[in-house]
Amino acid sequence: ALAASLLAYSGAAFAAQSAEIYRTASHSYGRVDLRAQLAPGSGVVSTGVAAQTALVGAVVAVGGAGTDGATFAALMATGAGLARLMQGRRAEAAGWLARSAERFRESYSDAPSESWGRPIGAIKARVLAGDREGAAGDAGWALEQEPAGSESPIGRYAAVLALLVLERDADALPLAEGLCHEPEPAFPPAVAEALGGLAAGDAARYRDGVRQVLASFEGRDAYLEDIPVADTVGVLEALAARRGL
């Protein structure tokens, strides 16, 4: 939430030379509260970007002490990357998203079983960054964790996403079709439909699904890292572009 609040701020410009984290609190359900105090500095920093970058970079650099720390750092880097994408600063976004993918992978080794959000987060970060080689590497690593055999639809989603990144559409299709039969609380049907369209090479089906995903996003009042970016749509569209859909 800190990354989002800092990065989303667009009021008057202020200047800062340093920041000090002075309070953190963790919660059993994964939320982390973090507060920082910015020291005043000389010069003008447009919307605090330099201070934001320094602060979030510091958290990402030191946040990997254990699974929870690495996951927190990954989420912070994701927030920074999504914010940069919104600003059209793609090169900077790619750097943050690469950090995010690295931290997600780092957090997986000691995570509880069925922690499929981590490989999904790594793959999505690489795709959003436009890093095809990195996405392929993370997709291969994700498949080594055998998500296709998971009882969880989120595990099978990780498998479908990885297979689509590797352009193994024929292998992805039966898993995507299986997701279409999951009840809505377990997996969003619009995402399943879009994945099925991608795997089948069915442009009409894909477009119908991705429009529903976007409509669902537009109806939300809460977002990943509090930043209103339809990241799933961005990933789906990147995969569709490769297929000419």
The mean-pLDDT minimum among 5-9, 38-42, 58-62, 218-222 falls in: 5-9
Could you tell me the pLDDT band of residue 3, with boundaries at 50, 70 and 90? very low
Asked whether the predicted pLDDT for residue 2 surpasses 50, the reply is no
Model confidence pLDDT, tens digit, residues 38-91: 444 444 333 344 434 444 444 444 444 444 677 777 777 888 888 888 888 889
Burial class (CB in 10 A: 0-12, 13-18, 19+), 181: exposed
| Residue 171: φ, ψ to 5° | -75, -30
How far apart are alpha carbons 100 and 90 in whole angstroms?
A: 15
| Residues 245 and 198 sit within 8 Å (Cβ to Cβ) | yes
Predicted pLDDT of residue 229: 72
The mean-pLDDT minimum among 32-36, 164-168, 176-180 falls in: 32-36
Separation in Å, CA 111 to CA 41, 83, 90, 116: 41, 27, 31, 10
